[in-house]
Structure 1
Amino acid sequence: MAEDVEIQEQREYPAKDYYDPPPAPFFDRRELTQWSFYRAIIAEFIATLLFLYITVLTIIGNKRQIDSGTKCDGVGIIGVAWAFGGMIFILVYCTAGISGGHINPAVTFGLFLGRKVSLIRALLYIVAQCAGAICGTGLAKVFQKAYYNRYGGGANFVADGCNRGTALGAEIIGTFVLVYTVFSATDPKRNARDSYIPVLAPLPIGFAVFVVHLATIPVTGTGINPARSFGAAVIYNDDKIWDDQWIFWVGPIVGAAGAALYHQYILRASAIKSLGSFRSHT
């Protein structure tokens, strides 16, 4: 009888050709005693600092070129989008093996909901990302002090002609695209299935950031990263920027949650698999 049950289970749930890591503990105090944990936090801080430094200077440099009246029109929206997408590609590639290369509280929150990181790691990552964003934007202001305030400090706000509902929707959908790409690019099932194709996970993630910027720069300047928006707001410190700041937290959080739930419970059918496993054992 037991053998029949085992054979039936094997037919219904054949052996997988990939390894799914177990869910991360919800609250893991052991991480606080590990150097690798603090090394990952430092990596997130430095990566977000570099991300903001390069991208904010790109935004300011583009506006300065446009305003100069010369034949050069600056790098334009495409150039700014490439700066954001390219930096994410570079930094995720450099830090993926150390911290996972989140560089974005929305990504961290989505991975926390997907049980990829613990609550302690998620919270400290977000703190490190926000601190890094503030420092990176601060450095950009130091090096471009004459132009920083004149050209808006690279801060996010709702563009003229757009309402806050439109801006919120743009942030939700844009972050959904990003976090969905992160889950798909790091899915062990996809990596096993496409192992014969030299796919580099940071590439689709960086490209997702690039295309989202193309779509939403005219609406919000593109946040999809609460640390990026918060760091620029702290250093620029303008009433209009702070009035719109909630959009760049609520939108990415909702978008990340939607992407995590969609990937884990619809595409990967985690809930159905758990229920099926429970029924078969019962």
Structure 2
Amino acid sequence: MEGREEDVRVGANKFGERQPIGTAAQTQDGKDYREPLPAPLFEPSELTSWSFYRAGIAEFVATFLFLYITLLTVMGVVRSPTKCASVGIQGIAWAFGGMIFALVYCTAGISGGHINPAVTFGLLLARKLSLTRAVFYMVMQCLGAICGAGVVKAFQKTQYELHNGGANMVSAGYSKGDGLGAEIVGTFVLVYTVFSATDAKRSARDSHVPILAPLPIGFAVFLVHLATIPITGTGINPARSLGAAIIYNKDLGWDDHWIFWVGPFIGAALAALYHQVVIRAIPFKAS
């Protein structure tokens, strides 16, 4: 009995009141985590590696499937006589968020599951990948988006032309500044979520983080769409906007197109800056 009482006493006082929990418990001491080295700006050896091209193909296929499913969903909603006869705005948001969740899960181990030039740009600024790979990814993402939108148009050409092909544009009642702001903030939410969900330091501490990473990313896309579909149709992905604009190819689809490149790239840059400098304080850490 005395031994048991001693165990209880020791157990109750083993940890002090100031024992750090959560993110406060993250330290370099006693952890298997080491800050990864920044990716080189140019990596010529990548060009001779099959994994490099396999990753680009994965980005192409993922973006193709993303545009195919999401634009078909948009066409189904806009062609319905009433929103109640279709999945509605919420269904469109779920289609975008759900596809990102599924596609990031499928391709994360091959290419990182970017499926978005803005995400690639943000990770490039954070030195998570080389410029060589970033440019290749962006090209493949845009090609995949064009092909995905093209297949949707081939399936229902009349409806596609009648309903603007799912192209992004600033809605009536909103200014171009409103649209640009919505794209900046929306992309910031997405890219900041990507950084947080895939943080290598969290992965070292919490083994479940890599498994759950696609879920918050998909939810971020879903929530941003709920908020900004009435403003811009929600771009936050230059490849998605480009693919729809090229296949629709009308002045209406090109008038505001610059917003859907400038806004996402600014939002991605701000998210990278915030996460690396403020959250992780990487520039201030001793080497």
Normalising by structure 1, we get a TM-score of: 0.89
Deviations 1:180-223 (A, max 9, x none): 00000000112233336785110000000000000000000000
Inter-partner Cα distance in structure 2 for 1:226 and 1:135:
15
Alpha-carbon deviation of 1:151? 1.3
Q: Does 1:35 align with 2:50?
A: yes
Find runs of 4+ consecutive structure 1 residues off by over 3 angstroms: 12-17, 196-199
Equivalence for 2:192: 180
Equivalence for 2:216: 204
Q: Does 1:21 align with 2:36?
A: yes
Relative to 1, partners in 2 of residues 1:112 and 1:61: Cα closer, same or farther, differing over 3 Å? same
Equivalence for 2:246: 234
Equivalence for 2:118: 106
Equivalence for 1:81: 93
Q: Does 1:253 align with 2:268?
A: no
Among candidates 123, 133, 141, match of residue 121 of structure 1: 133
Gapped runs of 5+ residues in structure 2?
1-26
Equivalence for 1:193: 205
Inter-partner Cα distance in structure 1 for 2:198 and 2:28:
23
Deviations 1:160-199 (A, max 9, x none): 0000000000000000000000000000112233336785
2:42 is paired with a residue of what secondary structure?
coil
Inter-partner Cα distance in structure 2 for 1:227 and 1:243:
17
Gapped runs of 5+ residues in structure 1?
1-11, 278-282
Q: What number of residue pairs does the alignment pair up? A: 261
Equivalence for 1:262: 274
Equivalence for 2:230: 218
Relative to 1, partners in 2 of residues 1:100 and 1:240: Cα closer, same or farther, differing over 3 Å? same
Inter-partner Cα distance in structure 1 for 2:208 and 2:166:
41
1:149 is paired with a residue of what secondary structure?
helix
Inter-partner Cα distance in structure 1 for 2:51 and 2:151:
27
Deviations 1:99-158 (A, max 9, x none): 000000000000000111100000010000000000000000011122111111111000
Tell me which moved more, 147-156 or 184-193. 184-193
Normalising by structure 2, we get a TM-score of: 0.87
Inter-partner Cα distance in structure 2 for 1:139 and 1:227:
15
2:85 is paired with a residue of what secondary structure?
coil
Q: Percent of pairs identical after alignment?
A: 70
